[in-house]
Structure 1
Amino acid sequence: MALKITVIGTGYLGATHAAAMAELGFEVLGLDVVPEKIALLESGRTPMYEPGLEELLRRHVAGIEGSSGRLRFTTEWSEVAEFGDVHFVCVNTPQKQGEYACDMSYVDSAMESLAKHLDKPSLVVGKSTVPVGNAERLAARIAELAPAGSEVELAWNPEFLREGFAVQDTLHPDRIVVGVRSERAEKLLREVYATPVTEGTPFVVTDFPTAELVKTAANSFLATKISFINAMAEVCEPAGGDVVKLAEAIGYDERIGPKFLRAGIGFGGGCLPKDIRAFMARAGELGADQALTFLREIDSINMRRRGQMVDMARDAVGGSFLGKRVAVLGATFKPDSDDVRDSPALNVAGQIHLQGGQVTVYDPKGMDNARRLFPTLAYADSAAAAVRDAHVVLHLTEWREFRELDPVALGEAAAEPLLLDGRNALDPAVWRAAGWTFRAMGRPTA
């Protein structure tokens, strides 16, 4: 009999996973405790912007004309427990207020609420990013609470989704990692992921601690690579070097590779910053804090970049933002997303506003979320409108739309044709040829 799958939590990770499981041919039931979110998903819409996700939902959500009907949603724990053979827990693990440590309350609550209703053999699969050691604890708690007792098992299956590529990363992952304690759990997960495994995706079987460590280790490595090239940009500035050419040159070394070597204002979002901080906190609890002291400097380099962008902009407009109009292109932490959590772009815009600048922001997808987070900033409905009468333009999120702008037309709209590229994604020669004074972090001024 075909497996039935449930997905607990329908945020960014859960909504994508539920739709992808339906695409792979499974009957899927998604649960969330927020009725408004469920109503949105049942109409084939998402509470966030993710390319291709709404199309995938509409292909499978029951009640939508022409859909497969394989995907439904509920707010009832008992319905989920009765329906599913494999339960994926995809709830959030934010950073604790005022601490580096991870807030496990959402995961704990979801696991306990589900376990109380599990009265038949089933597999609970954690996908949330958690500090190492929690899977062991949660497995014991589930066995204690579940009416079916030891017939309910736990497995850990970390997610590696990139915002903007989440659908592709779920349907065609570059690896699948499962932390399991039994052949039965491994067999069930091989059945769930049979399609991508058949396509050649590596299937890595580990113990609980290793599965928990994979995501935080991967994110720590990526954060290190980003902060490394940003540190090189800091050296290039006084030395007169070009960090873009430097990155190109070292990127040809196959041991290093070119990805994540674009210097700029650094990383943000809901994963990298909080994951590396939670990793440091957990290492301290385990007595291994010396092993991860380098991550503190990685974090410091990253946060420093935002202030350096503000300093560069202030210098460019004559030493003070008072009376200066500043256009900010980009609000999200990365392109192809509407996510503004810990966005370097919005952080820079906010700092400039606090120092007296008249800041106008434009972003292709993140405007509503940005307005909620920074209501005191001004917002424009296009790049051209944001740039009109600006004394300086800051390019802070590398949307394709911004790479395709007409520098000549924008130059005519700006009060001063002065552009600072905080992402090293625009072509200096093109903008300078159009009459702009162009500066980028870690690159020569001319």
Structure 2
Amino acid sequence: MNLTTPTISVIGTGYLGATHAACLAELGFRVVGVDRDRDKIARLAAGEAPFSEPGLDDLLRRHTASGRLRFTTAIRVAAEHADVHFLCVGTPQSAAGPEADLAGLWAAVRDLGRHLTRDCLVVGKSTVPVGTAAAMAAELGRIVPPRISANVAWNPEFLREGHGVQDTLHPDRLVFGVDSPSAELTLRLLYERPIAAGVPVHVTDLATAELAKSAANGFLATKVSFVNAMAEISERAGADVVALADILGDDPRIGRSFLDAGIGFGGGCLPKDIRALAARAAALGASSAPALLHAVDEANARARSRVADLALELCPGAGARVAVLGAAFKPRSDDVRDSPALDIARRVHRAGAEVRVYDPEASLNARAVAPELTYVASLETALRGAELVLHLTEWPEFAAMDPRWAARLVRWPVIIDGRNRIDSGRWAAAGWTVHSVGRPRRGAPARALVADPAG
């Protein structure tokens, strides 16, 4: 293995893998990305990200042009030339239950192992059940050709969609799960620049490194579900959950991050990761974690249902026109996997409303998942003639829009702020009835506003 300037492969070029490959090239390494999806590889090789991520297209164009970064569908190329292999294969929830589906990961491991011709380090980055790394090491030991050494390490990612490039180049911490000094040395070499900038490094065993990402996501999900439980209490008691969260957030033991009440979490990580962690904990005989994580999951589902139910209560009747602002599970992303916004939009549609959805980035992906909805190309088109507005993804342009301008477009000025991001006082002053999650209603009673103007 070349420990001076190692060549790197990244196997799996989804959100994690494509971002990681481009950022490693930015850090100065020669990188080859590998994926079975020929269309995806063609786009990446042309310097184009197959998903929305700020800053990633620039890195791809620069480093594919320089030759430092290339992409292929042939894992043999990676096996024969790379010294370090990062496994970034997706681990979705199994179709048969809450467990993680590791079929893609195991296929990549076996394919890589059979083609290895040189000593290497295989580094897992995918989120996996604890114990996977040890099983992977055993599998590689069984299939790797004689006299070839394939050591295993785990280096979990902590990326936030919409901030992936920043989080990779300037992480808040690095975790190295290793079982040999040479593996640690190699990882320190790869991350030399962020380490030199003062990023803390946690060197631990494989199992602890595997648990790190699942535990982090489990804790963040718990914070979101907790504040949504407080939102329900606040609504019934006439309290303000945003003020409550601010009070809690000033406690350094708690912190303000992830204490925003609303329609709950979604995306490709938190929902499936807490379910997989609960399933793995149950398999290990740890009884407390499954009960807690199941409650978190149920509270998250209830946050969506409460907003959907309120929307149906406020709809003036069958065929009501509803403007849905947002389809992505979060802003700065076109990801609609397990999107609370899209879930609520579909529920309202199934109840008989005419739903028009606007999202600055995610409409194409949303249409593939929920083709029954109507997608429009502008905020103005979504609002025109609406009898109810649902603010479900916190894109900055939604919070920044002029409520007086919006009031002139809609039929009835009634809005549910599912993200608590608009200035409810300003909107109420402009004639809107504002329903926010966990906060007192602002403006005139909605039922008065949705009376027939001709009556």
* Counterpart in the other structure of 1:213: 211
CA distance in 2: counterparts of 1:193 and 1:291, whole angstroms:
33
- Give yes or no for contact 1:120–1:148 (8 Å, CA) kept in 2: no
Aligned-pair Cα RMSD in Å = 1.0
- Give yes or no for contact 2:266–2:339 (8 Å, CA) kept in 1: yes
Deviation at 1:316, TM superposition (A): 2.0
* Counterpart in the other structure of 1:356: 352
* Counterpart in the other structure of 1:10: 13
Deviation at 1:148, TM superposition (A): 4.7
Residue 75 (str. 1) matches residue 73 (str. 2): yes
* Counterpart in the other structure of 1:118: 116
* Counterpart in the other structure of 1:243: 241
CA distance in 1: counterparts of 2:323 and 2:289, whole angstroms:
42
- Give yes or no for contact 2:117–2:148 (8 Å, CA) kept in 1: no
* Counterpart in the other structure of 1:54: 57
CA distance in 2: counterparts of 1:234 and 1:394, whole angstroms:
18
Tell me the TM-score normalised to structure 2 length: 0.95
Deviation at 1:323, TM superposition (A): 2.3
SS of equivalent residue, structure 1 residue 81:
helix
* Counterpart in the other structure of 2:441: 445
Matched to 1:107, the amino acid is L
- Give yes or no for contact 1:392–1:417 (8 Å, CA) kept in 2: yes
Deviation at 1:121, TM superposition (A): 1.0
- Give yes or no for contact 1:119–1:148 (8 Å, CA) kept in 2: no
- Deviations 1:224-276, CA, capped at 9 Å, x for gaps: 00000000000001100000110011111111111111100000000000000
CA distance in 1: counterparts of 2:36 and 2:117, whole angstroms:
21
CA distance in 2: counterparts of 1:291 and 1:84, whole angstroms:
39
CA distance in 2: counterparts of 1:316 and 1:29, whole angstroms:
53
* Counterpart in the other structure of 1:97: 95
Deviation at 1:315, TM superposition (A): 2.0
Matched to 1:322, the amino acid is A
Q: 1:391 aligns with which of 387, 408, 412?
A: 387
- Give yes or no for contact 2:159–2:168 (8 Å, CA) kept in 1: yes
- Give yes or no for contact 2:118–2:148 (8 Å, CA) kept in 1: no
Deviation at 1:290, TM superposition (A): 2.9
Deviation at 1:149, TM superposition (A): 5.0
CA distance in 2: counterparts of 1:386 and 1:210, whole angstroms:
48
Q: 1:368 aligns with which of 358, 364, 367?
A: 364
Q: How does 1:161-180 map to 2 (within 5 A)?
A: 161-180=159-178
* Counterpart in the other structure of 1:400: 396
Tell me the TM-score normalised to structure 1 length: 0.97
CA distance in 2: counterparts of 1:290 and 1:161, whole angstroms:
27
Q: 1:185 aligns with which of 180, 183, 186?
A: 183
- Give yes or no for contact 1:328–1:360 (8 Å, CA) kept in 2: yes
- Give yes or no for contact 1:123–1:153 (8 Å, CA) kept in 2: yes
Matched residues, percent identical? Answer: 55
Distance 1:12 1:6, change over 3 A: same
SS of equivalent residue, structure 1 residue 284:
helix
Give the paired residue count. 439
CA distance in 2: counterparts of 1:50 and 1:79, whole angstroms:
27
* Counterpart in the other structure of 2:272: 274
Matched to 1:151, the amino acid is S
SS of equivalent residue, structure 2 residue 153:
strand
Instruction: Mark the runs of 5 or more structure 2 residues left unpaired by the alignment.
Output: 443-455
* Counterpart in the other structure of 2:32: 29
Deviation at 1:120, TM superposition (A): 1.2
CA distance in 1: counterparts of 2:75 and 2:392, whole angstroms:
43
* Counterpart in the other structure of 1:433: 429
Matched to 2:305, the amino acid is G
